[in-house]
């Protein structure tokens, strides 16, 4: 289906978390919600031919390809924006460390599943794993973290949709209308998906996953290389300032801001690889479940390599003056002396490459909404099943919940511009719990496998690092979201603060 398939399966787990925790439910007794989850999952992941039992199973190659598709998607938009926070050296190292940690967590979860199944506990979704390890409280905690992650993801999706539409469409006096108006204009899609079954649409859109994945990488490369060629027009005297060098080798870790930046980069990296929660669902669909860990690890490594190339090319072009989204830097016909203005790389008009990239991502987001939105609504309904137990769709509680959710999503999209910070907040508060903290605690609580002291020490260090990201990362993201940023004025509206006297003189010369 789309390039965000793994996060869609997280949503499926969110549905399953609201089911009664029956351990003996057969395939023929599967509830309607579970059937919905499995049917939508089959759209996102390629499956092998039918087995003798008449079931379609996921092959090892299919898992590898689709795991890659699930990771490479909208995450490429903000990956270059991580470089200014930690510099040339530490940023790629943190991403590589995140890849290694997620690979280890995939192994951890696989062993937990095997141990629980040996105890005749049926594991079909992530919440089953949490329930098997911690009992009903584990199911409730994982349900809350999954649901809140979905809320954050869908709100962030509308932020990106509004930004992309503002980039692509120039309908207001030949210029941009403003992302707030586009967020409001896109709100009907939330209501549509909240009330209407979009299963047929998902079936027809299943071919878009590979197109979006390959297109995202290629268009990102092309746009960044084009920006590198334009760097020759950017005077050396205007690139760096006393407070902000154009490129950073290594962050200053002697300050709290430096450590917050490290947590931010780690948060975004874990969001890129937020697929550990899908392991129970995927393993249950595989022809050979034992191949999941090596296939997933290779997919993580491949995606890490692609991410690093995108990060490096983007930072080489934009430096510390780059936009949050790669697309915003794909502009031309910039004003005279653009290099001395605020947010210089975002001045001008969108390029053809950027337009195609923007529409591709927007289409991807609109289609993934067909999964995210109904799954988010159903997950929220599961918090009060007695209120939403009616089979009818148009009851007052159900309609009220959907309208309130649509209004909240629009409010966030109109008030929040920093999609990277919103991503980091969602990742720090919820994705870290699902992908690191719960798996490690479950593994050692049930003693899923005999491990040596070195691996135990490694798990302890990963757990502490996860706590660090939760506390520091969420604090940093909240601070960025709640504090007004004086540097976020519209691009090209003023001369950039802190530029050198030589740069200021060069700019004044262009205006004469």
Name the residue ranges covered by the structural domains of the chain. 5-17+34-47+55-511
For residue range 425-481, what is the model confidence (pLDDT) as tens digits? 999 989 999 999 999 999 999 999 999 999 999 999 999 999 999 999 999 999 888
> Quick one: which H or E segment has residue 349?
strand 349-350
Share of the chain above pLDDT 70, in %: 85
pLDDT score of 400? 93
Nearest to 17 by CA among 144, 187, 189, 158: 144
Nearest to 314 by CA among 67, 71, 72, 91: 91
CB 158 within 8 A of CB 186: yes
- Measured CA distances, 146 to 170, 392, 432 (Å): 37, 25, 11
pLDDT score of 85? 94
Nearest to 79 by CA among 313, 250, 349: 313
For residue range 99-156, what is the model confidence (pLDDT) as tens digits? 999 999 999 999 999 999 888 888 878 888 999 999 999 988 988 988 898 899 899 9
pLDDT score of 480? 86
| Residue 34 banded pLDDT, cuts 50, 70, 90 | very low
Token readout for 371 is: 């999964």
Burial (CB count within 10 angstroms: exposed 0-12, middle 13-18, buried 19+), residue 425? buried
pLDDT score of 203? 64
Q: What would the mean pLDDT of 387-404 be, rounded to a whole number?
A: 87
Residue 494, pLDDT above cutoff 80: yes
Burial code (b: 16+ CB inside 10 Å, e: under 16) for 257-288 equals: eebbbbbbbbbbbbbbbbbbbbbbbbbbbbbe
Q: What would the mean pLDDT of 185-195 be, rounded to a whole number?
A: 91
In angstroms, the CA 122 to CA 346 distance is: 52
Does 335 or 364 have the greater pLDDT score? 335
Q: What would the mean pLDDT of 339-368 be, rounded to a whole number?
A: 90
Burial code (b: 16+ CB inside 10 Å, e: under 16) for 93-112 equals: ebbbebbbbbbbbbbbbbbb
In angstroms, the CA 229 to CA 335 distance is: 17
Q: What backbone phi and psi angles, to 5 degrees, belong to 124?
A: -115, -15
pTM, two decimals, is 0.84
Residue 11, pLDDT above cutoff 60: no
Q: What would the mean pLDDT of 291-313 be, rounded to a whole number?
A: 95
pLDDT score of 511? 86
| Residue 326 banded pLDDT, cuts 50, 70, 90 | very high
pLDDT score of 17? 42
DSSP H stretches of helix in 45-82: 60-71, 76-79
Token readout for 393 is: 């769709």
pLDDT score of 335? 92
pLDDT score of 484? 63
> Rounded to the nearest 5 degrees, what angle is found at the Cα of 43, between the Cα atoms of 360 and 215?
25
Token readout for 319 is: 């430096």
Mean pLDDT (the chain, rounded): 84
> Tokens 């995606």 belong to which residue?
303
Residue 42, pLDDT above cutoff 80: no
Q: What CATH code is assigned to 5-17+34-47+55-511?
A: 1.20.1740
pLDDT score of 122? 83
CB 280 within 8 A of CB 129: yes
Conformation bin of residue 333: beta by default, left when phi > 0, alpha when psi is -120 to 50: left
pLDDT score of 179? 78
For residue range 407-427, what is the model confidence (pLDDT) as tens digits? 999 999 998 888 888 899 999
- Measured CA distances, 484 to 111, 418, 489 (Å): 46, 11, 10
| Residue 12 banded pLDDT, cuts 50, 70, 90 | very low
pLDDT score of 367? 81
pLDDT score of 205? 66
pLDDT score of 47? 41
pLDDT score of 55? 52
Nearest to 77 by CA among 384, 329, 320, 447: 329
Q: What would the mean pLDDT of 246-254 be, rounded to a whole number?
A: 93
For residue range 200-243, what is the model confidence (pLDDT) as tens digits? 666 666 677 788 888 889 999 999 999 999 999 999 999 988 88
| Residue 170 banded pLDDT, cuts 50, 70, 90 | low
In angstroms, the CA 353 to CA 226 distance is: 10
């Amino acid at each position: 289906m789309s390039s965000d398939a793994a996060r869609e399966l997280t949503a499926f787990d969110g549905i399953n978390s609201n089911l009664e925790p029956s351990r003996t439910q057969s395939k023929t007794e599967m509830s309607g919600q579970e059937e919905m989850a499995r049917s939508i999952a089959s759209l996102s992941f390629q499956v092998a031919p039918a087995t003798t039992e008449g079931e379609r199973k996921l092959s090892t190659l299919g898992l590898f390809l689709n795991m890659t598709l699930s990771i490479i998607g909208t995450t490429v938009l903000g990956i270059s924006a991580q470089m200014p926070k930690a510099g040339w050296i530490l940023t790629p190292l943190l991403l590589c460390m995140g890849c290694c940690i997620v690979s280890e967590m995939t192994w951890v979860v696989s062993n937990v599943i095997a141990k629980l199944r040996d105890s005749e506990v049926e594991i079909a979704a992530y919440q089953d794993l949490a329930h098997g390890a911690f009992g009903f409280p584990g199911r409730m905690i994982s349900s809350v973290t999954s649901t809140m992650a979905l809320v954050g993801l869908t709100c962030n999706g509308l932020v990106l949709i509004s930004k992309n539409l503002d980039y692509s469409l120039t309908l207001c006096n030949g210029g941009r209308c403003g992302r707030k108006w586009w967020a409001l204009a896109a709100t009907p899609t939330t209501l549509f998906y909240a009330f209407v079954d979009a299963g047929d649409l998902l079936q027809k859109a299943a071919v878009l996953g590979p197109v979006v994945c390959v297109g995202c990488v290629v268009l990102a490369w092309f746009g960044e290389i084009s920006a590198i060629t334009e760097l020759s027009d950017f005077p050396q005297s205007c690139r760096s300032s006393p407070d902000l060098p154009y490129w950073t080798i290594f962050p200053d870790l002697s300050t709290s801001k430096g450590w917050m930046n490290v947590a931010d980069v780690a948060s975004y990296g874990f969001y890129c690889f937020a697929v550990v929660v899908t392991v129970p669902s995927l393993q249950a669909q595989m022809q050979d479940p034992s191949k999941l860990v090596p296939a997933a690890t290779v997919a993580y490594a491949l995606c890490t390599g692609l991410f690093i190339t995108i990060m490096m090319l983007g930072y080489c072009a934009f430096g510390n003056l780059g936009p949050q989204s790669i697309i915003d830097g794909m502009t031309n016909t910039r004003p005279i002396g653009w290099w001395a203005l605020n947010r210089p790389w975002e001045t001008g008009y969108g390029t053809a490459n950027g337009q195609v990239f923007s529409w591709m991502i927007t289409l991807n987001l609109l289609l993934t909404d067909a999964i995210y939105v109904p799954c988010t609504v159903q997950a929220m309904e599961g918090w009060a099943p007695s209120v939403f137990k009616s089979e009818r769709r148009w009851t007052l509680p159900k309609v009220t919940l959907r309208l309130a959710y649509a209004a909240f999503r629009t409010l966030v999209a109109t008030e929040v511009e920093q999609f990277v910070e919103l991503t980091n907040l969602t990742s720090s508060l919820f994705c870290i719990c699902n992908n690191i903290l719960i798996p490690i605690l479950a593994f050692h609580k049930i003693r899923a496998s005999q491990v040596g002291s070195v691996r135990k020490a490694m798990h302890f260090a990963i757990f502490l690092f996860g706590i660090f990201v939760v506390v520091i990362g969420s604090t940093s993201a909240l601070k960025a979201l709640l504090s007004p940023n004086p540097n976020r004025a519209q691009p090209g509206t003023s001369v950039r603060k802190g530029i050198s006297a030589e740069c200021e003189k060069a700019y004044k010369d262009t205006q004469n």
